[in-house]
Amino acid sequence: MIETITALEALRQRVRRWKRDGLRVGFVPTMGNLHAGHYSLVELARQHADRVVSSVFVNPTQFGPNEDFTRYPRTPEQDTSGLQAAGCDVLWLPDVAAMYPFGVELAARVQVPGVSAVLEGAHRPGHFDGVCTVVTRLFNQVQPDVAVFGRKDYQQLAVIRQLVADLQFPIEIVGGEIVREPNGLAMSSRNQYLSSEQRELAAILHRTLLSMRDAVQAGEPRAQAEATAGAALRAAGFEPDYAVIRSPDLGEPDDGSGGPRVALVAARLGRTRLIDNIEFLLG
Ligand code: PAF
């Protein structure tokens, strides 16, 4: 039976007891409104650990002033039963006061320069500062041995890896595969904002990524593949923030050479902003 914990001392006691018994603790941080993508991360955490903690906390510091913090879907009962079915042992459910004891304004912040600055960081200023701030707090609260993050948020995973390396957290970071709808749309809590027509239309994001990959693998210059992708998205009624091909570290790849690549897209459909990516090999 899953145990829901809302007080930090109770969480610490539970984790201390597990560790005293020699158990490895896995952690899956979330903002709730869980779907099959999240549950696959919990299942992956189970493969890497003896016990799994998952957190649900809609983190105010990672939303910009005009973003969807207040309307972000909150579904605690559904999340609890889904987590239990996925094999989660403890649901860590802090409120804002438990997460930010001195209040959000006075909260100590954590910033990872470099990889945070581009793409999502450029379009959502302060977003990764909020993510790094809350993930640092969550790591300190849960003290996991291994933490699992989804690859759909490709840049977030890269930022977290940098955070963990730089602050020397003794935590193994594992990336979980993207789970897609049958039409290719990456699962996301924000898909809830889409009408059924928009959900069908949004499948173009994945198709666009595949076309970018196919184009550069067939020898088309990267800039041309990116421009074609942007135009296709605009023609379908999206407002793209970016549609790019990058190196795994999100730097601009050397076009003369092959190697691992990631195609990333962020685009708005109506009021809903969606992101997606695919990883592939060039050459
Ligand atoms: O990926 C998310 O859901 C959030 O960014 C995270 C990692 C739970 C931090 O709030």
Average pLDDT, integer, range 1-22 = 98
Q: pLDDT band at 275, cuts 50/70/90? A: very high
Local confidence band at 77 (pLDDT 50, 70, 90 cut-offs) = very high
How high is the pLDDT of residue 110? Answer: 98
Mutate which of 83, 127, 131 for ligand 1? The one with the most ligand atoms within 8 Å of its CB, which is 131
Could you tell me where the DSSP H helices lie in 109-202? 120-123, 127-142, 154-166, 196-201
Q: Using CA atoms, how far apart are residues 269 and 224, in angstroms rounded to an integer?
A: 23
pLDDT digits (tens, 9 = 90+) for 203-245: 999 999 999 999 999 999 999 999 999 999 999 999 999 999 9
38 is catalytic: yes
27 alpha carbon, distance to own chain's centre:
14
Mean pLDDT (whole number) for 80-93: 98
d(CA 40, CA 48): 13
Distance 168 CA to ligand 1 centre (A): 20
What does the pLDDT read at residue 271?
93
pLDDT band with cut points at 50, 70 and 90 for residue 131? very high
Task: Provide DSSP, 57-102.
Answer: ---GGGS-TTSSTTTS---HHHHHHHHHHHT-SEEE---HHHH-TT
Long-range contact pairs involving 102-106 (C-beta distance under 8 Å, separation at least 24): 104/60, 104/61
Q: Give the span between the Cα atoms of 80 and 57, in whole angstroms.
A: 13
| pLDDT band (50, 70, 90) for residue 114 | very high
Candidates 16, 32, 1, 41; CA nearest to 152 is 41
Residues with C-beta less than 6 Å from any ligand 1 atom: 29-31, 59, 62, 131, 134-135, 153, 156
The per-residue pLDDT for 135 is 99
For ligand 1, the distance from its centroid to the CA atom of residue 237, given in whole angstroms, is: 28
Pairing status of strand 51-56 against strand 172-176: unpaired
Mean per-residue pLDDT, 93-97: 97
The total of other beta-carbon atoms located within 10 Å of residue 186's CB is 24
Query: Read out DSSP for 235-254?
Result: HTT-EEEEEEEE-TTSSPP-
Predicted local confidence at residue 122, as pLDDT: 98
- pLDDT at position 167: 98
In this prediction, residues 112-132 reach a mean pLDDT of 98
191 touches 185 (CB < 8 A):
yes
Closest to 178 in 3D by CA, of 203, 210, 204, 153: 153
**Pairing relationship of beta strands 272-282 and 259-269 according to DSSP bridges:** antiparallel
Task: Please name the residue whose Cα sits nearest to atom 8 of ligand 1.
Answer: 30
Q: Ligand 1 pocket test: which of 41, 55, 135 has the largest number of ligand atoms within 8 Å of its C-beta?
A: 135
Ligand 1 centre distance from Cα of residue 252 (Å)? 26
**What integer pLDDT is reported at residue 65 of this predicted model?**
94
Q: What are the phi and psi torsion angles at 45 (to 5°)?
A: -60, -40
Supply the residue whose CA is at minimum distance from atom 3 of ligand 1.
30
